[in-house]
Structure 1
Amino acid sequence: MPIRREHRFFYPIDWPQLSAVIRFRRAGGCCEGCGRPHGQRVPHLGDGRWWDAAAGAWRNGQGKALRVLPTAEEVAGVRMTRVVLAAAHRDHDTSNNADTNLAAFCQRCHMLHDRPEHRRRHWATLFRRKALEDLFRSPYA
């Protein structure tokens, strides 16, 4: 995932090389959350279930083989997505680049991992906007 311009200062200068080591050497080019392969077009059902062509099996969002196969109606609505791996910070601290803190995630796993942080930032942004509005456009003025 691209790094926002305002956040680039927080990443080390060798981040592209560090990210490549995590994604391709340690993780072997597969998502550490669900096992999806990097750079491949993967059929999925939109709820986390996806087709693993290498194993010939449907997998869930955690990469485990499904016990109950999708119905014909569900398979008829299959969509394709290109998997792109990104290195993610497990604790959301961009200055902590220890191997144990970094993970290779596909887009879906990265968004699920970052959801609480995104919600926190969204709340802080709305809170700040409301505070500025109250400060400068106060109904009491």
Structure 2
Amino acid sequence: MPIRREHRYFYPIDWPQLSDVIRFHRAQGRCEACNRPHLQRVFHLGDGRWWDAESGCWRDGQGRRLRGRLRKADLLGGVRTTRVVLATAHRDHDPSNNANENLAALCQRCHMLHDRTEHQRRRWFTLFRRKAMGDLFRGPYTAN
């Protein structure tokens, strides 16, 4: 995920090299949450289940093999493809904490799931700030 301009100064100057070490040396080019391979096209069903071409089996959102067979309705109507891109994520959402155990190599799906609560908090803060600015300069906010 790209680094926001206002957060860029929280990251160390060697962040690209640190991110490469986490993604490609420690994680071996695979997501540490679901085991999807970096820069590969993956078939998926949209709910976390994906086709692992190397082992020839379907996996769930945590990278475990699916035991049962998939229904034909799942395969016929919902198979999509996506290109997996790994990013280095901070487990505690603090960009200044670059300890090895605080960093994780995550694909875009797992990264969004990991950051869900932080995104909800920022969304609430942005909406609250806009509402406050509207009240300050345009009078009380009225919902239509």
| TMscore range, shorter length | over 0.9
Where do residues 52-131 of structure 1 align in structure 2 (5 Å cutoff)? Answer: 52-76=52-76, 77-131=78-132
CA shift for structure 1 position 131: 1.1
Instruction: Provide the TM-score with structure 2 as the length reference.
Output: 0.93
State the Cα distance separating 1:136 from its structure 2 match: 1.4
SS in 1 for 2:115: helix
CA RMSD of aligned residues (A): 0.9
Question: Secondary structure of the residue that 1:81 maps to in structure 2?
Answer: strand
Shift of 1:69: 2.1
How far apart in 1 are the matches of 2:40 and 2:72? 24
Runs of 4+ in 1 over 4 A off after TM superposition: none
Which residue does 2:8 correspond to in 1? Answer: 8
- The residue identity in structure 2 corresponding to 1:99 is N
Question: What whole-Å deviation, never above 9, does each CA across 1:17-44 have from its counterpart, x for those lacking one?
Answer: 0000000000010000100000110100
Aligned residue pairs, count: 139
- 1:6 Cα deviation after fit: 2.1
SS in 1 for 2:96: coil
Cα deviation code 1:75-123 (max 9, x no counterpart): 1231111100000000000000000000000000000000000000000
- The percentage of aligned residue pairs carrying the same residue is 73
The Cα shift of 1:73 comes to: 1.9
Structure 2 unaligned regions, length at least 5: none
CA distance in 1, matches of 2:116, 2:69: 28
Structure 1 residue identity aligned to 2:18: L
Alignment of 1:29-48 (within 5 A): 29-48=29-48
Counterpart secondary structure, 1:20: helix
